[in-house]
Amino acid sequence: MNHIELQHLSKSYDQSSFAVEDVTVSIEQGEFFILVGPSGCGKSTMLRMIAGLEKISAGKLYIDHQLANHLLPSQRNLSMVFQNYALYPHLNVEENILFGLKVRKIKKTVQRQRCEEAAALLGLTDYLKRKPRELSGGQRQRVALARAVVSEAPICLMDEPLSNLDAKLRGQMRTEIRQLQRKLGITMIYVTHDQVEAMTMGDRIMVMKDGKVQQVGTPLEIYNKPKNLFVATFIGAPPMNIAKAEVDRLNKQLILKNEIVITLTEEQLFSLKSDIVYIGVRPEQMAYGKGSNRDAHLNVSLSNIEVLGNETLLAFNVGDDIWKAKWLGQWPLDINKRTEISFPKEQLYLFDGKTEETLFSPVWNENVLKEVLAGESR
């Protein structure tokens, strides 16, 4: 069993504020679990508490249903991959991979077998005699992964392991790490501030802010049904468009600062608890033109255009807020040109103006996905 359970886990350094506050979650065997959030939100601190590198101020940590609060790191039967790889510069690749096994005095025949298997798995066979300085960033990352693999620990912790790599290599390593985790069947807890890594790699995601858990769920649950404004704007690239609006209940409308009026459905109106709300629209929901009567309509002046080849990002102002539209294809429009843009009213998110909690989320039609999958299987 590779099960980890956190019960009301907290960490305080000064006894007056919390780096991590009251975290409760159960991480299942073989799960790829992502901790995501901005810098300083407490995700690395929580990982280090699980590893035994930070003392737990309050709460309980269970590893395989055994209380682990006071266990030494060496007693927790886990491996860890650090952000800076933590390779010994005077040792070659093979010696770096086997360092932990030598400390534990594992038989040399077993060491050699595990090293050969890990090197073959990660494409390092031809580099075993090289020093870390002779390797690229991706190769150094693979050495750190191989060191975790040869330990055969059922739990692997990763603290932003790809942050030092370029964008192309990050994409490649994301795939390799995910495939490696599936192949080995290990439980992996992965820390990142990159929401793209979180969405593409995780079975489940925990979104954190200021040491507190904002939401836990699958990538699609968090993307489609964010619990609050922070989660909605943190997950998604580009982030969700947000603007403040006043509620006109008599006319069943929302009025934005620049006098844009959006008519609400009965369901949307019923969900509102106050007269001030935040509205949210995903950039990919924005369309060119006025649309139909069911669509909200904006007449805007484009402030920036990014043609990326297969898609185009357009920026424009809605009141004091900068909104973006994400369109497939190449749209070489003119900056400062007035443009008609629309979006489906049923795709509007509504958030409380005071608490920022989600009041209304669009209904995600699971039947559409089922039809697509059924079509692919025929």
Question: What confidence tens digit (pLDDT) does each residue in 29-71 have?
Answer: 999 999 999 999 999 999 999 999 999 999 999 999 999 999 9
Q: How far apart are CA 224 and CA 219, in angstroms?
A: 9
Per-residue model confidence (pLDDT) at position 258: 60
Q: How far apart are CA 320 and CA 323, in angstroms?
A: 10
Residues 168-185: tens digit of each pLDDT:
888 888 888 898 899 889
Q: How far apart are CA 160 and CA 39, in angstroms?
A: 11
Which residues does residue 296 pair with via DSSP β-bridges, in sequence order?
Answer: 343
Amino acid at 152: E
Which residues does residue 256 pair with via DSSP β-bridges, in sequence order?
Answer: 245
Per-residue model confidence (pLDDT) at position 1: 55
- Residue among 160, 216, 200 nearest 23 (CA): 216
- Sheet of strand 32-36, all strands in order from the earlier edge strand to the far edge: 78-81, 155-159, 187-192, 32-36, 204-209, 212-217
Residues making up the chain, counted from first to last: 378
Percentage of the chain beyond pLDDT 70 is 95
Per-residue model confidence (pLDDT) at position 199: 92
Amino acid at 50: I
- Taken in order of first residue, the domains within the chain and their CATH numbers are 4-224 (3.40.50.300), 238-362 (2.40.50.140)
Q: Where are the alpha helices (DSSP H) in the chain?
A: 43-51, 93-103, 108-121, 137-150, 167-184, 195-201, 219-224, 229-234, 266-271, 366-377
Give the C-alpha distances (Å, rounded to integers) separating 212 from 19, 70, 221, 230, 333.
9, 23, 19, 12, 43
Q: Are 34 and 190 in contact (CB under 8 A)?
A: yes
Residue with tokens 């979650």: 25
Q: What are the residues whose beta carbons fall under 8 Å from the beta carbon of 124, sequence distance 6 or more?
A: 93, 97, 118, 139, 142, 143, 146
- Would you write out the chain's pLDDT as a tens digit for each of its 378 residues? 579 999 999 999 988 899 999 999 999 999 999 999 999 999 999 999 999 999 999 999 999 999 999 999 989 999 998 888 889 999 999 999 999 899 888 899 999 999 998 898 888 999 999 999 999 888 898 898 899 889 989 999 999 888 877 888 888 888 888 988 998 899 999 999 998 899 999 999 999 999 999 999 999 999 999 999 999 999 988 999 999 999 988 888 888 876 678 888 888 888 888 889 999 999 999 999 887 777 888 888 999 999 998 999 999 988 888 999 999 999 988 898 889 999 988 889 999 999 999 999 887 654 444 444 454 444
Considering only CA atoms, give the Rg of the chain. 25
Q: Are 309 and 316 in contact (CB under 8 A)?
A: no
Per-residue model confidence (pLDDT) at position 162: 84
Per-residue model confidence (pLDDT) at position 378: 41
Q: What are the residues whose beta carbons fall under 8 Å from the beta carbon of 166, sequence distance 6 or more?
A: 137
Residues 327-357: tens digit of each pLDDT:
999 998 889 888 999 998 888 999 999 999 9
Q: How far apart are CA 178 and CA 203, in angstroms?
A: 10
